[in-house]
Structure 1
């Protein structure tokens, strides 16, 4: 039984709670990361701290008897190598994208998640898409193109990281679902393995990135105040990084692709407003049009998926829930994973 279901909630209540938890933590995480990166330009070190704090918190819940953490096993770790590789790369490019673009433009820079999702669904899983789905991808691409080309001072490097982030995000859903098999479909076990192994994989990166010299310079210039600033930024981003990581795994394993897409669209709108009110971002006409087209394409995709499901045709989207993988039999078993 999943962690959410242990609270005694109905399936509907569990989905609402999971989606709400994901949206709140994701929005707060973007704000916290942007603040931390404006304070300290050490993205890889902050990510490393997030992984470390997540592992410590998970082990603490195990010691307190609240949650049961698994012992790391070599065969399971080997099976999760694709997930760890994509997770580390994805976290890195997400953060680097946020370094170079404004919060309100982040939605546009990472706007190609849906087209890449459909491409990988066909290339990796052999799942064709309907004309309506392809049309929604075209609308999303138009939104991305409009948003990027309308900006005079947009960082090309930030856009590049956004595109790579779209690719890793698209692959992440497939890899997470396949990786759940290695941990007996336990989202919590997968969260622990993901954080612990990502922490190990990221350790050499922070030294190779040269960020240790940046930290040393700041400590030398600011003294104890610089040390406190680093600890505070690392702790805050670590806490919310842990929460959004957990929330993301919970939503992907608990909800359908349609719900996942809707929550992402709503989060995109709120994220844009957040950038405007909290960080003073400019919302240009081109940027607004790009966001509207990207969200409109997502809405069209949602409509297309609902139409396919209601017409009893075989779904052509990437499996993201156990019932999608196992078919009708799995649909009757949802909640038992």
Structure 2
């Protein structure tokens, strides 16, 4: 039976959220294949998220905070890492196949372990380090086996791995600025990220491209792009909300299952929807990355069990009587 975590999200719902994120990656790829406007896509998605948050505030479902200048300043690191992370994620999708996206961003685990040690002082066991080595081998195998892979796409994938690893740490450190309110942090994150993305859209040259396309082909040229942006905006809002609410980690089993589901389905979707070529090296790389993630999950699970002291519960009345006798002797 699936049990809810402290925020009411069951493990099945969390796995479903990962699958939803996977679908979002595929729709993003479809939108970018239609038009290579990554920053406009991000801007539309965040605008939809802010609008939906305002709707929840208006309907009384959730109360959104009033933006304050001092809080916004305290959240600059979070907004910076969020905008950078979303940007390089999308740019990575521009240059690589959907199935290769798993490999390009395959270094999330090694970077997570590195930053946990460098920033939080959390040392890792040999088994965890072994898991990171397996993941690195998967990344190396997948990257070096490809002939026509975009080096720029790999670069964006590595940067994406770094930002993803830092994001969870920055989120936890940013909670204090909003009185530990996850909902407030969700709103600030989306609203301020929307503001930060606006000048990037203009400076990147995408605004000029959009105006040129409109003058030549009209607004109808953006129908498919805007439809994809709308769909992913809704999914992104739900995923973002669940991600911030789910600050307490799920069980190791859930992480292993969700990671495996994401990797396998992402490969299959890339193969069937976008006709990606699944080379032997790419397949081995994905298997090693997923295997390293599973090994890491097993290692952390064993660490948790080792740090949990077993509680003795009397199984029979005789056991209970013996315990009482020992307590009496101890008090005497």
Asked whether the two chains share a fold, i.e. TM above 0.5, the reply is yes
Match of 1:170 among 139, 160, 165: 165
List aligned pairs for 1:1-337, cutoff 5 A: 10-11=4-5, 14-253=9-248, 255=250, 259-260=254-255, 262-312=257-307
Change (3 A) 1:293 1:22: same
Paired residues of 1:32 and 1:237 also in contact (CA < 8 A): yes
Deviation per CA, 1:43-68: give whole Å up to 9, x if none. Answer: 01110111111111110111111211
CA distance in 2, matches of 1:197, 1:307: 40
Paired residues of 1:252 and 1:260 also in contact (CA < 8 A): no
CA distance in 1, matches of 2:17, 2:11: 10
Q: How many residues get paired?
A: 306
CA distance in 2, matches of 1:236, 1:213: 25
Offset of residue 297 of structure 1: 0.5
Aligned to 1:3: none
The alignment's C-alpha RMSD in Å is: 2.0
CA distance in 1, matches of 2:277, 2:127: 33
Q: TM-score, normalised by structure 1?
A: 0.85
Paired residues of 1:25 and 1:243 also in contact (CA < 8 A): no
> Structure 2: which 5+ residue stretches go unaligned?
310-332
Paired residues of 1:21 and 1:247 also in contact (CA < 8 A): no
> Structure 1: which 5+ residue stretches go unaligned?
1-8, 315-337
Paired residues of 1:251 and 1:260 also in contact (CA < 8 A): no
Partner-residue secondary structure (3-state), 1:78: helix
Deviation per CA, 1:158-185: give whole Å up to 9, x if none. Answer: 0000000000000001111122222233
CA distance in 2, matches of 1:269, 1:259: 15
Paired residues of 2:252 and 2:298 also in contact (CA < 8 A): no
Change (3 A) 1:77 1:257: farther
CA distance in 1, matches of 2:112, 2:209: 37
Offset of residue 306 of structure 1: 0.7
Offset of residue 256 of structure 1: 5.2
Offset of residue 295 of structure 1: 0.5
Offset of residue 26 of structure 1: 0.3
Offset of residue 287 of structure 1: 0.3
Q: TM-score, normalised by structure 2?
A: 0.87
Offset of residue 154 of structure 1: 0.4
Bigger Rg over Cα: 2
CA distance in 2, matches of 1:22, 1:131: 31
Partner-residue secondary structure (3-state), 1:177: helix
Change (3 A) 1:262 1:236: same
Change (3 A) 1:303 1:70: same
Change (3 A) 1:248 1:11: closer
CA distance in 1, matches of 2:73, 2:56: 25
Change (3 A) 1:270 1:42: same
Paired residues of 1:18 and 1:251 also in contact (CA < 8 A): no
